[in-house]
Amino acid sequence: MSKHLAGALIFASLALAAPAQAAIDGFTIVNQTGGALSNLALRRVGDPPWQSLAVAAAPGASARVDFAHKDCAFDLRANIAGVGQIMWSGVNLCDVKRVTLNRDSSGRHWVDYD
């Protein structure tokens, strides 16, 4: 095996073994909570303080969130008209384009990703 080929194979194996560096580079919030969404804020999972985001969305609407961070896991909270404050814990914001905040009539809430 030539030295060039051996060097290329070693370089390729190191590149494949290197961990991927995920990061947040903005996303879109989709409001499927059944009420108007306001006072959206986020924080790294469990770590205060909350960072307010200038985002609001009517039921069924979406809004762009310009936010960049090296971490992925965040808690999101928002006020929902007629309901009050809701928190979605452990939301993965890396490598997603859309985050849909859901809430059903029984009060159960969850996140879907696109």
Instruction: Identify the CA nearest to 86 among candidates 40, 50, 43, 25.
Output: 40
Residue closest to 41 by CA, chosen among 68, 69, 79: 79
4 is a domain residue: no
User: Is 107 part of a structural domain of the chain?
Assistant: yes
Q: Residues near 57 by Cβ (< 8 Å), separated by ≥ 6?
A: 29, 30, 31, 36, 37, 63
Q: How far apart are the first and last CA of the chain?
A: 45
With vertex at residue 27, the alpha carbon angle to CA 83 and CA 38, rounded to the nearest 5 degrees, is 25
Residue 10 counted as domain residue: no
Q: What is the pTM of this model?
A: 0.78
Q: What is residue 95's predicted lDDT score, i.e. its pLDDT?
A: 85
Give residue 58's domain range. Answer: 22-113
pLDDT value at residue 10? 45
Q: CA 52, 57, 62, 67: dihedral to nearest 10 degrees?
A: -10
Q: CA-CA distance, 73 to 25, in Å (whole number)?
A: 13
pLDDT, one tens digit for every residue, the chain (114 residues): 555 444 444 444 444 443 445 678 889 999 999 999 999 999 999 899 999 998 999 999 999 999 889 999 999 999 999 999 999 999 999 989 999 999 999 999 999 999
Domain of 35: which CATH number? 2.60.40.2890
Residue written as token pair 């979406």: 62
- How many domains in the chain? 1
Domain contains 72: yes
